[in-house]
Structure 1
Amino acid sequence: MKSTLSKINAWLHLWLGLISGLIVVIVSITGCILVFEEDIYKIIQPFRLSPPEAKAVMLPPSALIKSAEAAFPGIELRSLTYHGEGESAEVSFHSDSTLWIDPYTAQVRGISDHEDFFHLMESGHTTLWLPVAIGRQFVIYGTLVFGILVITGMVLWWPKKWNRHNIRNAFRVNWKAKLKRVNYDLHNVWGFYPLIPVVFIIFSGLFMGLGWVMKSAYWVASGGKLVPMYYVPSSDTTQVAATPLMQVLDQVWKFSVAELADHNSPALILGIPDEKDESVYVYTNTEGPHYQIHYFDQFTGRQLKGTGMDVDKFNEANGGDRLRRINYSLHVGSLWGIPSKIIYFLASLVAASLPITGFIIWWGKKSKKLKPAIRTSKALA
């Protein structure tokens, strides 16, 4: 019985690996590149940084929006992001261009285009550069298959006996061996070391991609609660002439920084409404997973009540809401800054190598079986 289960496990590992191998390679390599996206941007696009002068204070949204509208007249604004001390504010339009403004002087620092190298990598990571409806499904279910491969791989890796010889073979690459053995060790041994970050990456990816995974994880983490419905409150259109929008945005910004943000954090996203019944939304504490969304009436500035997984303070939210808000950071490796990003980079690199080393192992075994058959057929001829 045990032998039969082992054979089934090995068979699953082989064929699921062959089926999903190319997907895993593409998603993992692009993931490696995207890990340091923000850090690289700050090097190649220095206009994203705005070192403040002594005693400089950040300007309100109306001042930054005025500069943005002067730079891009006639283009409708979408949102304004304050990234934090020493960083430029980001103005997004209903276009592919993003404007970067010094939040202390309102001077335009630079313009970036959404359609760049990292956008190309993101497209490969999420859709394999295929049409979204098709490519996204390939990525999601390829990730699910990779999760099964991790389990079957662990079963294959697990030493039958925990003696010194088996432990050495399970945890060490024999670099002095022949190339075939080195390749086997790279697949078998290196596949074990990044296990924890790889599991986090797979789980968080499936959390974002599969509704049943998200709902199940939320139910467990929240102690048996269902995912709350999202409700975005509307502005009171009977108060259209109450207060100019720019004045409301300034009031909302000041209130958000002073009263709503933890540790008085200036990092927030301010959504600019398109329609008269829309509310102004504000994401506070956006520098990490402690973000929280708030809604305000665009005509009066009155705070409104919405529902969802990110409307409560992080410290007051249930386990499911916290998991939802920490999930993206868990996926991209930004929870602990550069150290965790390095770990995720190496883990993704190893993950990308596993289908390649696995294919080489399979091809070697296949070739070995074919050679006797070729010799026999030649002899019969």
Structure 2
Amino acid sequence: MTIFKKINAWLHLWLGLASGIIVFIVALTGCILVFEQEFKSMTQPWLHAERPQNAEYLLPSAIKEKVAPLFPNKEISGIWYYGHGKTAKLNIRSDSAIYVNPYTAKVVAIINEEDFFHFILEGHTELWIEAKIGKIHVGQIIVAYATLIFFVLLISGLILWWPKKWNRTNRDKSFKIKWGAKFKRINYDLHNVLGFYSLLVALVITMTGLSMGFAWFSKSVYWLSSGGNSPAPYVDSSSDTTRIIPDVVMKNVDLAFIKGITEIGTYNKDAIIVSFPDEPSEPIELCTDMYNASWRYVYLDQYSLKELPSTQVHIDDLKLADWLRRTNYALHVGGVGGLTTKILFFLASLICATLPVTGFYVWWHRGYGKAKKPQKRIKATSNIASV
């Protein structure tokens, strides 16, 4: 074995042991979160509302007018219309959410959103660690660096997997699991073979996670995919306060909502989030084109309804670097290709969760996979004195 391969094997071993528990938790919780929306749709009846005879949605102002008196101590800041046949959620800046029938404004349920999936998400993003150092979340930093280590492990693992010679015996060891062997060999194959098969998807999951965890990584991906360019600077758009028109806010919210589902949105047009500005300078915020875990933000002047400079470009008009940045979350959760990619990412995430376990077992029973040197037999000799 060359010095490079020895160093690589050493790094793979000790980085794996150091990050194993964290990688296991993050991968397993990510595996659970892949089908969060599908599971909720099947088990939470308050998410559904029958649409009577192709009825249209009630306008945001009408829903707010009917529901606000029922919750006098809560400020309704916006409405999330999930689509026809589904309830709408009122944003009330609380741990609870109010779900209403979007055709009648009848309150269907008041739900504490800190549920099982919220618990799993906290584990996935911060290991259930609430401690902070200043503004830094300790748990999030630990997850980010563990993800970076896992990225190194994937590369070093590929180097270890790569056969010295591409003969039939080595190909079988690299691509097949020998199910009829002893558990020690099966465990080694599960780590080695399944690790390779999940590599490409695991790299996508890891790199998109790093883009969310480190600004420098996100900027590097943009720089590489754009040919050396930097992302456009953030534009903080505000409504034109020189044109304040009294008592027009909710009327224009309704018009913005109609514009969003008839003109602006093109993907999944019936699903939209609309905000209620509570300051004269705030824009009306629309979230449209919520499709395959991607979305687009549109900001309108609350007086003129003109699109403001911070409005995001339609996804069909994005260049590669901007597309990667917009769809980073969708790529991370496997939503970019619908159910097919979700299943693929679920399986890859599940395999990633097993790698620390199988890898630890390989280390604990270290020595498997290395050619055993034949032991030299010591021949007994006897010195017989001649008489």
Check whether TM > 0.5.
yes
Could you tell me how far apart the structure 2 residues matched to 1:266 and 1:228 are?
A: 30
Relative to structure 1, the CA distance from residue 332 to residue 343 in structure 2 (aligned partners, 3 Å threshold; closer, same or farther) is same
Q: Secondary structure at the match of 1:50?
A: coil
Matches within 5 A, 1:8-47: 8-47=7-46
Q: Deviations over 1:289-346 (max 9, x none)?
A: 6632221223x24214223xx6111122222221111111111111222222121111
Name 1:358's counterpart in structure 2: 359
Could you tell me how far apart the structure 1 residues matched to 2:277 and 2:3 are?
A: 62
Runs of 5+ consecutive residues of structure 1 not aligned to the other structure:
368-381
Could you tell me how far apart the structure 1 residues matched to 2:267 and 2:355 are?
A: 43
CA contact under 8 A between 2:267 and 2:291: conserved in structure 1? no
The one of 303, 306, 309 equivalent to 2:306 is: 303
User: Which one is further off, 329-338 or 270-279?
Assistant: 270-279
Q: Displacement, 1:223? A: 3.4
Q: Between the two proteins, what is the percent identity of the paired residues?
A: 42
Name 1:159's counterpart in structure 2: 163
The one of 127, 139, 148 equivalent to 2:143 is: 139
Name 2:320's counterpart in structure 1: 319
Matches within 5 A, 1:181-196: 181-196=185-200
The one of 227, 247, 265 equivalent to 2:231 is: 227
Q: Secondary structure at the match of 1:11?
A: helix
Q: Displacement, 1:264? A: 7.3
Name 2:73's counterpart in structure 1: 74
Question: How many residue pairs get matched?
Answer: 363
* TM-score (normalised: structure 1): 0.90
Q: Displacement, 1:106? A: 1.9
Name 1:347's counterpart in structure 2: 348
* TM-score (normalised: structure 2): 0.89
Q: Secondary structure at the match of 1:303?
A: coil
Q: Displacement, 1:153? A: 0.4
Name 1:171's counterpart in structure 2: 175
CA contact under 8 A between 2:294 and 2:330: conserved in structure 1? no
Could you tell me how far apart the structure 2 residues matched to 1:68 and 1:188 are?
A: 57
- The aligned amino acid for 1:306 is P
Q: Displacement, 1:274? A: 3.3
Name 2:378's counterpart in structure 1: none
Could you tell me how far apart the structure 2 residues matched to 1:162 and 1:98 are?
A: 58
Could you tell me how far apart the structure 2 residues matched to 1:144 and 1:275 are?
A: 41
Could you tell me how far apart the structure 2 residues matched to 1:349 and 1:118 are?
A: 17
- The aligned amino acid for 2:33 is L
Could you tell me how far apart the structure 1 residues matched to 2:60 and 2:118 are?
A: 27
Runs of 5+ consecutive residues of structure 2 not aligned to the other structure:
369-387
Q: Displacement, 1:243? A: 3.9
Could you tell me how far apart the structure 2 residues matched to 1:16 and 1:255 are?
A: 53
Q: Displacement, 1:96? A: 0.7
Could you tell me how far apart the structure 2 residues matched to 1:243 and 1:224 are?
A: 48
Q: Deviations over 1:203-236 (max 9, x none)?
A: 1101111111111111222333211222232123
CA contact under 8 A between 1:17 and 1:149: conserved in structure 2? yes
- The aligned amino acid for 2:141 is Q
Q: Displacement, 1:176? A: 1.2
CA contact under 8 A between 1:97 and 1:112: conserved in structure 2? yes
Q: Displacement, 1:366? A: 8.2
Relative to structure 1, the CA distance from residue 200 to residue 68 in structure 2 (aligned partners, 3 Å threshold; closer, same or farther) is farther
- The aligned amino acid for 1:149 is L
Could you tell me how far apart the structure 1 residues matched to 2:361 and 2:297 are?
A: 49
Name 1:248's counterpart in structure 2: 252
CA contact under 8 A between 1:267 and 1:284: conserved in structure 2? yes
Q: Displacement, 1:146? A: 0.1
CA contact under 8 A between 1:236 and 1:277: conserved in structure 2? yes
CA contact under 8 A between 2:294 and 2:336: conserved in structure 1? no
Name 1:377's counterpart in structure 2: none
- The structure with the largest helix share of the pair is 1
Give the alignment's Cα RMSD to 1 decimal: 1.9
Matches within 5 A, 1:196-345: 196-262=200-266, 265-288=269-292, 291-298=295-302, 300-307=303-310, 311-345=312-346
User: Which one is further off, 37-46 or 120-129?
Assistant: 37-46
Higher Cα Rg: structure 1 or 2? 2
Q: Displacement, 1:29? A: 0.8
Name 2:374's counterpart in structure 1: none
User: Which one is further off, 31-40 or 212-221?
Assistant: 212-221
Relative to structure 1, the CA distance from residue 358 to residue 336 in structure 2 (aligned partners, 3 Å threshold; closer, same or farther) is same
CA contact under 8 A between 2:190 and 2:358: conserved in structure 1? yes
Relative to structure 1, the CA distance from residue 40 to residue 217 in structure 2 (aligned partners, 3 Å threshold; closer, same or farther) is same
CA contact under 8 A between 2:301 and 2:308: conserved in structure 1? no
Name 2:100's counterpart in structure 1: 101
- The aligned amino acid for 1:315 is D
